[in-house]
Structure formats: structure tokens, C-alpha cells
Amino acid sequence: MKPTPGWPRSHHDGLSDTGPAVEDHGRVVTTSRRAAGFYRQAQRAVDARRATAALRLAVNADPAFGLAIADLDAITGTVCEAPSRQQMSWERHHIEVVRTAATTGDANRAAGLLREHLADVGCDPLAVRIATQLFHPGGYDDDFEDLVGRLPGCHATPWPSSP
């Protein structure tokens, strides 16, 4: 997949023609390589608007891409039925985090799930950004304040607050 002008590149972008479909940190995702390329763009997006655009492209490329569907639903406030495709363990945990953040209103539970998820995978920029943005679009409280700082150098910038 050729890079989109104005989007940062990942060292995984060159893998789109061979090998498994991967996200920005090289974790395998259960989708097509094309959809994974758009998902990587969403992971590197500088704001929710650009992430939403990239996630829509990922879902258009693979309508059964559960990870992108869950993220898009959480950001846009929509609810779609989850595809029945088998998923990687890390994908299931990510989906649980963003769905809990988007649907339960339980910040403590969402923050706890996110901490567990990050302990397993290290970095998941969309899970962090989506969960923290959903609960605190204008700022953070004790449940999420420490999590905003959990974005390592590869994705160190949180999304700006929603207007």
C-alpha cells in the first residue's frame, strides 16, 4: 500500500504486499494487509478526525475487521454487531477496553482493563486515546491521568481535546 500524503510512515508500511497483516508495532491483525495499512494510519493519526477517516477506510477495505469496527464505533458513538471472525488475543482485549469505555460509563473498570491490556502489549495508542478521550474530552481525572503518560515515544502525543 502506498503511503497517503500527509500521513506519517511506519516501518511496517512496506510489509503490506507480503507476510501477515500487522499493526504499527508488528502485532498480527485479523484482516487484509490493505485494511491493516489503514489501521496503522489510524494508530498514528494526530487527532480523532484523522483516526476516524483512516478507520473508515480500514472498514471499507475489510467490513469484518472487528478491531477497526470497535474503534470506529467507540469514536463515533455508534454500535455495530461484532463480526464473528476469530481474533488474536490482544485484539479481543483491545476491543473489550474500547467497548467498555464507550458503553458502560464505568471509568474505573475501563481504566483497569486498559492498564491490564497495556501491561500485556506495551503500547496501544488507539486504546489509550479512545478510552481517555471518551471519559475526559476536556481533561483527565485520577482514573486516566496516569494512562495518558503511558504513550511511549512512538505515539507520545495525546489527541487534542474535542472542540
Tell me: the pLDDT tens digits for 78-127? 888 766 688 999 999 999 999 998 998 888 898 899 999 999 998 898 99
* Residue 161 pLDDT grade (very low, low, confident, very high; cuts 50, 70, 90): low
Q: Is 5 exposed, middle or buried (0-12, 13-18, 19+ CB in 10 A)?
A: exposed
Closest CA to 123 of 88, 90, 82: 90
Closest CA to 25 of 160, 148, 128, 100: 128
pLDDT score, position 15: 44
Rounded Cα–Cα distance for residues 4 and 58 (Å): 13
Percent of the chain with pLDDT over 90: 49
Domain ranges of the chain: 13-77+85-153
pTM attached to this predicted model: 0.81
